[in-house]
Amino acid sequence: MTRKFFGTDGIRGRTNQMPMTAAMALRVGQAAGAHFQRGQHRHRVVIGKDTRLSGYMMESALISGFTSVGVDVVMVGPVPTPAVALLARSMRADLGVMISASHNPFEDNGIKLFGPDGYKLSDADEAAIEARLDHEPKLVAPCDIGRARKIEDARGRYIHAAKATFPDGLRLDGLKVVIDCANGAAYQVAPAALWELGAEVVAIGVSPNGLNINDGCGSTRPEELRKKVVEEGAHIGIALDGDADRLIVVDEKGAIVDGDQLMALIATRWHRRGILRGGGLVATVMSNLGLERYMEGQGLALVRTRVGDRYVLEAMRANDYNVGGEQSGHIILTDYATTGDGLVAALQVLACLVEQEKPASEMLRLFEPLPQLLKNVRFAGGAPLEADTVKSAIASAELKLQGKGRLVIRKSGTEPLIRVMAEGEDPALVEELVDSICEAVRAA
């Protein structure tokens, strides 16, 4: 079923434009609240947010929606997305809501929904909620309106849970870590967790003002982190995105390490310890062919899914894998979390650094990636991928690759973008093919 509002990661868009309006947030609260009223108990939703200015507006509207259909609200303030998933489950809530547009600029916002088990909603649940948006909600009697309250220990609960994933007997003493929190949801919890585990912490991107989330910082803009790591003589740098479910690492020389290398590191470490399940890891079609070849060389499998951490998680749960994620840095470790968690994944990387006593530049380069190029083309409407000229450009590129590389061309599930990726042995050819397809998309 085609979904009108839900993309690959909830509902997302520019604030004060459909679907990211206060009126829409109120309706989503009513629809989701009504959908999850199962059983006779008092119903509860946990609502968290990142640091965007529009978070206040969206939070208030969601609270109005949920309480109007008889659902109590627990507000936890600015916390990472995985914290909301954790709290929804641990507090026996019927639903968890994260108000965030992840790595997008502050002008955007989004609504991510988690079920009572802490997992993102299924397609069926999202379709059912969408169907309710087309009908007037059934409002409760005045005496049954929900109550809203804020709890102050949410961040402490999450810090404790994240630290508990770090291996017993290990400490970060003597390790200098630069962490970039993207002026986002983890600006308090991530530096605190690292410091409590013994690290010397240099924190940047920890001064949110509502407008600077992901602005020249975080996992999608790690340039400042790279400089800071070298300036400080740090052992490693960690970059999170706006809602802290994504991780990118910088080694001591300032080189960027993406999610493919990090997944390879964690999976092989867990394999050596005998705790890797599934015989490999799950990644998307965007992961580098070098990762696939490396895993095969270790006697392990790489299972690919369509793009979106929700699809990675579905494959992990269906086949009992406990390591998976995306090249972009969404890393899911189901032994510890029900969704991507940048801090928890970073702690696994830091555990390897402590155990191996090698420089990050040596430890984090497990395979040589094939030349890969990704470019985005923004479009205003229509279906450019259906144009004959675009189809012809794609067919021509596939012919030139002659089976020695890969093409992945897709519409983004979170932004009005066409993403064009090519991978192959010849970097000049890869660039030529990406540019030719992008030009065809623009013309269409």
pLDDT tens digits for 115-155?
Answer: 999 999 988 999 999 999 999 999 999 999 999 999 999 99
Helix, strand, coil percentages, rounded to 5, for the chain: 40, 20, 40
In the chain the domains, ranked by start, together with CATH numbers, are 11-152 (3.40.120.10), 158-254 (3.40.120.10), 259-341+359-363 (3.40.120.10), 372-443 (3.30.310.50)
Sign for the CA dihedral angle at 376, 79, 306, 271 comes to: positive
Q: Would residue 60 show up in a list of annotated catalytic residues for this protein? A: no
Q: Is the peptide bond preceding residue 369 cis, with omega within 30 degrees of 0?
A: no
- What was the pLDDT predicted at 2? 59
What pLDDT score was predicted for residue 354?
A: 96
CB 325 within 8 A of CB 312: yes
pLDDT of residue 437: 95
pLDDT given for residue 308 in this prediction: 87
Tokens of 348: 């696994």
Beta pairing, strands 200-204 & 176-180? parallel
Tell me what the mean pLDDT of segment 348-362 comes to: 96
Residue 325 host element (H or E)? strand 323-325
CB contact at 8 A, 299 and 339: no
Annotated catalytic residue, options 102, 219, 287, 328: 102
Give per-residue pLDDT as tens, 382-427.
Answer: 888 999 999 999 999 999 988 778 899 988 877 789 999 999 988 9
pLDDT digits (tens, 9 = 90+) for 232-264: 999 999 999 999 999 999 999 999 999 999 999
Spatial separation of the C-alpha atoms in residues 36 and 178, rounded to whole Å? 41
Torsion of CA 121, 304, 102, 116, to 10 degrees: 20
Chain center to CA of 64: 27
Q: What is the mean pLDDT of residues 83-103?
A: 97
Over range 183-189, report the average pLDDT.
98
